[in-house]
Amino acid sequence: MSKKKSKEKLFFSKTLDFLDHYLPEQAMKSTNTIETYRDTLTIFRRYLSDTLRLSIRTFCFKDCTHDLLLEFLHHLHESGNAATTCNNRLAAIRAYLWYAAGSDISLQSVALTASHVPFLKVPKRIREIIKEEDLAALLSAPAGTKTGKHDRMILILLYDSAVRVSELLSLDVQSVNLESAIPYIRICGKGDKERIVKKYAEQIRPEHPNLPKSC
C-alpha cells in the first residue's frame, strides 16, 4: 500500500473536502449546519486524543468501530449533553463516514457499522401552555403608543404562528401575504427550509379583538 493511499484512509483526512466543499457546494447545507458538523468532528477528535489518548496521525476509518461510537455517545451524555445533542453528534459522524465511503468503496462497511449505532432515547417534552390570564397580561403590557402597538403585534405573531425569534427577525414585507384568500407568512427556517404559516391573520383577529389594524 502506498503512503498516499494509506494517508487517505486516516479518519480525518477527508474533513477539509467534506466541510469546505461537499457540504456547502454539493449538499447545499446552511452555514449553521456546517458549523455543527465542524464542531462535532472537533469534539470527536478531542475525545480520541484527550480522553482515549489515541494518536490522530494513526487513527484510521477502520478504527471508528461500533463500540467506540457507543462509548463516545456515553461520554457526551455523561458530560452533560442532552440526548438530542448526542444524537446530532452521531448523525454528523455518520454523514461524514457516508461521504468518505462515497469516494472509497472500502469504507462502506465502516459507514454501515456506524449507521447501526442506536440513537439515545429522547424523552418526550411536555410543553406548557400559557394561561389565558397570563397571555392577556402579556399582550396588555405594551403601551398604547405606536411603538407599543408594534411590540404587541410582535408578541401576537410569535404566539399565534409559533415562529422562532430568529425567524421573526428575518421576516420582511415580501414574507407577508394578506391579499390572498388565505393570508399567510412565508418563513425561512433552519437549514434554509421554507415553510408557510397560513391563516395567521384570521386567527389573530377573533382571539384578540383589540389588535390594532396597523403597527
Q: Where are the alpha helices (DSSP H) in the chain?
A: 3-8, 15-17, 31-46, 66-78, 83-103, 108-115, 132-140, 146-161, 165-169, 200-207
195: closest CA among 173, 163, 165, 169?
163
Q: Residue 100's pLDDT is what?
A: 96
Q: Residue 142's pLDDT is what?
A: 86
At 67-106, the pLDDT tens digits run 999 999 999 999 999 999 999 999 999 999 999 999 999 9
Radius of gyration of the CA atoms of the chain, in A: 24
CA angle 179, 188, 181 (to 5 degrees): 20
Mean pLDDT of the chain: 84
What is the C-alpha to C-alpha distance for residues 110 and 96, in angstroms, rounded to an integer? 11
Q: Residue 213's pLDDT is what?
A: 44
What is the C-alpha to C-alpha distance for residues 54 and 74, in angstroms, rounded to an integer? 18
73: closest CA among 111, 43, 110, 100?
43
- Whether the CA torsion 108, 111, 114, 118 is positive or negative: it is negative
Task: Say how many Å lie between the first and final Cα of the chain, rounded.
Answer: 70
What is the C-alpha to C-alpha distance for residues 144 and 141, in angstroms, rounded to an integer? 9
Mean pLDDT of 191-212: 56
Q: Residue 194's pLDDT is what?
A: 76
Q: Residue 61's pLDDT is what?
A: 96
Instruction: Answer yes or no: are the C-beta atoms of 177 and 184 closer than 8 Å.
Output: yes
What is the C-alpha to C-alpha distance for residues 47 and 43, in angstroms, rounded to an integer? 6
**Segment (H or E) for 196:** strand 194-198
User: Between residues 44 and 212, which one has the greater pLDDT?
Assistant: 44
What is the C-alpha to C-alpha distance for residues 37 and 79, in angstroms, rounded to an integer? 19
Q: Residue 191's pLDDT is what?
A: 64
Q: Residue 22's pLDDT is what?
A: 96
At 99-155, the pLDDT tens digits run 999 999 999 999 999 999 999 998 777 777 778 888 888 888 888 888 888 888 888
